[in-house]
Amino acid sequence: MNDASANPAPAGLPFARVGIIGLGLIGSSMARALRKSGSAKAIVAIDRDAAVRERVAALGLADSITGDAAAGVTGCDLVILCVPVLAYGALAEIIGPRLAPGAIVSDVGSVKGSVVRDVGPHLPEGVHFVPAHPVAGTEHSGPDAGFAELFANRWSILTPPAGTDPAAIERVHALWSALGSNVEIMTPEHHDLVLAITSHVPHLIAYNIVGTAADMETVTESEVIKFSAGGFRDFTRIAASDPTMWRDVFLTNKDAVLEMLGRFNEDLAALQRMIRWGDGEGLHALFTRTRAIRRGIIASGQETAAPDFGRHAGLAAPKDPAG
């Protein structure tokens, strides 16, 4: 028995020709992971930035490289959008006419409602749209930041619009499984609500606290840096995430983020009251509950117990924050 027969490729894999648009952190990680898992016979890297294309060539991430999205997707049986979500609509309009019936379009965007709204109308009859979001990432950007193991043991959420061809969903599901991800399927609306509280609002809080510290007049900048290990440092890591990507997340997931921020503000006011009235019992009860949540995350394998939040750990360690 040879290796191939011992480990047959999952049904629907490999794809013959995969076009990846945007070879940043996530796109380049996809290219590496597709290669490593044998899930694509050929990879076309499509990026508007000549410097990115040069790095992709030097790193050997693709079989062909182009800056022309329409030409690049021609002949692809899978196209994955890996650019900031507000760029999707214009790209879909360009690539739509070049996609053959049976082709699948997917993505990795951190927001799903806007993606379904912006991309769907530009795809011709017979082209399947299976949006996806790998809940995995780092605060780094660009093709050098990617790595093949980024998606291993992380969750990838698929949000196929109602009526999507089940076989297309199955192929995208098989792809993410081959990259090492656990897969869950939900509606775009539910995705956006869940991610608002697990990812988007935490990023906003980090951006806000780092911004507040930067604006403080009574504490010097050197003191903020010097004493950052007190907790601030971990916020700065999240607040270093890509500005374009996160601008787009907040502009496209506005309703869910505002809803969660409303709840957050109420709870913050309750905490404020506990501090004002010396309610030590209340504070202790909350901190005990939150500690249990972190322990649950570690127990589920989504984080290590290392006190540095995984920053110095190897590739097997989680690479938060994820968009």
Binding site for ligand NAP (CB under 6 A): 22-27, 47-49, 52, 82-85, 87, 108-110, 134, 137, 141-142, 242, 245, 322-323
- Cβ pair 20, 48 in contact under 8 A: no
- Omega of the bond leading into 321 within 30 degrees of 0 (cis): yes
- Tell me how far, at minimum, the Cβ of 139 lies from ligand NAP, in Å: 7
CA–CA gap between residue 62 and residue 83 (Å, rounded): 17
CA-based torsion, 106, 110, 112, 117: positive or negative: negative
Cα angle at 209 between 29 and 322, to 5 degrees? 20
CA–CA gap between residue 179 and residue 214 (Å, rounded): 40
Q: CB nearer to ligand NAP: give 106 or 110.
A: 110
Q: CB nearer to ligand NAP: give 14 or 72.
A: 72
Q: Which two tokens stand for residue 47?
A: 């990026």
Tokens 């739509």 belong to which residue? 96
- Tell me how far, at minimum, the Cβ of 204 lies from ligand NAP, in Å: 15
- Tell me how far, at minimum, the Cβ of 178 lies from ligand NAP, in Å: 18
Q: CB nearer to ligand NAP: give 13 or 111.
A: 111
DSSP for residue 300: T
Q: CB nearer to ligand NAP: give 11 or 152.
A: 152
- Tell me how far, at minimum, the Cβ of 71 lies from ligand NAP, in Å: 15
Q: CB nearer to ligand NAP: give 48 or 190.
A: 48
Q: CB nearer to ligand NAP: give 84 or 318.
A: 84
- Cβ pair 28, 145 in contact under 8 A: yes
- Tell me how far, at minimum, the Cβ of 245 lies from ligand NAP, in Å: 5
- Cβ pair 12, 170 in contact under 8 A: yes
Cβ contacts of residue 79 below 8 Å, gap of 6+? 18, 19, 20, 21, 73, 95, 99, 103, 104, 105, 106
- Tell me how far, at minimum, the Cβ of 22 lies from ligand NAP, in Å: 3
